[in-house]
Structure 1
């Protein structure tokens, strides 16, 4: 879809077109729709990011919690979104060794126990070892630091997904 096409959509169509950008969170594109027309993809991304930044803390937490664990239950039971499946697959997370999978499960459990939300990483450019190393580096961080880092990672994921959806 081109940006010109996106700018012409009514709100429901706009939200549907950008449904996969923010994991199970249609409120983000819904609120950004009124900022049309977008002059370029950077403008669109900035509008979406501004919606997230202006959201109440509980909405931001819900956005974070809408993301699946890396190599977690949603991956093993097949309930990942198509975007998350593709992203985790490209990072090699669909092909973990038993030891890697055990380490990721242990890190997921520790991270959730520490923070009450899942670890989020824009995995593009990472391999399994890199994902595990980054996870291990962040698992004992401060809660406020991780909350903010997860929002930064969500922003990176959103931009990568926009680049895949919007032509030109």
Structure 2
């Protein structure tokens, strides 16, 4: 799919959800076209996030759901988040795993005030994700904000790739 060739409204419609509940990222880059490639588009979107005010960056982080959290269990995730979590079976945890994720998520949120974010598609095992959740709760706030934003960028890349592939087939 050639994102550079899309009409402005279609660009915003298709790319508005690449960053979770944050259409402002697509809005920030739409008039910077052409990007020339998917890499160029991704770099521009990540640069827009990194140039945003800290409060807007934090709002982007806070827009993400907790992994295997209550929202996921109630069916309240975006289609992209639900698919990402399901890809590692986070939607099929046993009671002990749910309890461990809930405890780790609560500890992390209490420490930082925002949800733990990791690019699930880059992982191979939900135990690795749980271990990262528990380990990253020991970071200082600035390190964890930077780590969360880096993970958001990875998630956006996976979503862009999926969108480009689905658009190429249509």
Shorter-normalised TM range? over 0.9
Matched, 1:134 2:123: no
- The Cα shift of 1:98 comes to 0.8
Aligned to 2:18: 21
Alignment of structure 1 residues 70-85 onto 2, 5 Å: 70-85=67-82
* Cα drift, residue 153 of structure 1: 0.2
Number of residue equivalences: 165
Structure 2 counterpart of 1:144: 142
Report the counterpart of residue 157 of structure 1 in structure 2: 155
The residue number in structure 1 matching 2:4 is 7
User: Which whole-Å CA distance do the structure 2 matches of 1:157 and 1:104 have between them?
Assistant: 20
Note the C-alpha offset of 1:11.
Answer: 2.8
TM-score (normalizing by structure 1) = 0.94
Gaps of 5+ in 2: none
Structure 1 residue 44 corresponds to structure 2 residue 41: yes
Normalising by the residue count of structure 2, what TM-score does the alignment of the two structures yield?
0.93
Stretches of 4+ moved more than 2 A in 1?
Answer: 8-12
| 1:11-63 C-alpha deviation (Å, 9 max, x unpaired) | 32211111221000000000111110121110000010110010000000000
Bigger relative contact order (CA 8 A; separation at least 6): 1
Report if aligned partners of 2:105, 2:116 keep a CA contact under 8 Å in 1. Answer: yes
Per the TM alignment, residue 9 of structure 1 is displaced from its structure 2 partner at its CA by 2.6
Distance in structure 1 (CA, Å) of the matches to 2:31 and 2:51: 15
How far apart, CA to CA, are the structure 1 residues paired with 2:114 and 2:124? 21
Alignment pair present for 1:103 and 2:100: yes
Indicate the residue corresponding to 1:61 in structure 2: 58
Which residue of structure 2 aligns with residue 35 of structure 1?
Answer: 32
Structure 1: any 5+ residue segments left out of the alignment?
A: none
For residues 70 and 12 of structure 2, the distance between their equivalents in structure 1, rounded to whole angstroms, comes to: 27
Which stretch shifts more, 7-16 or 60-69? 7-16
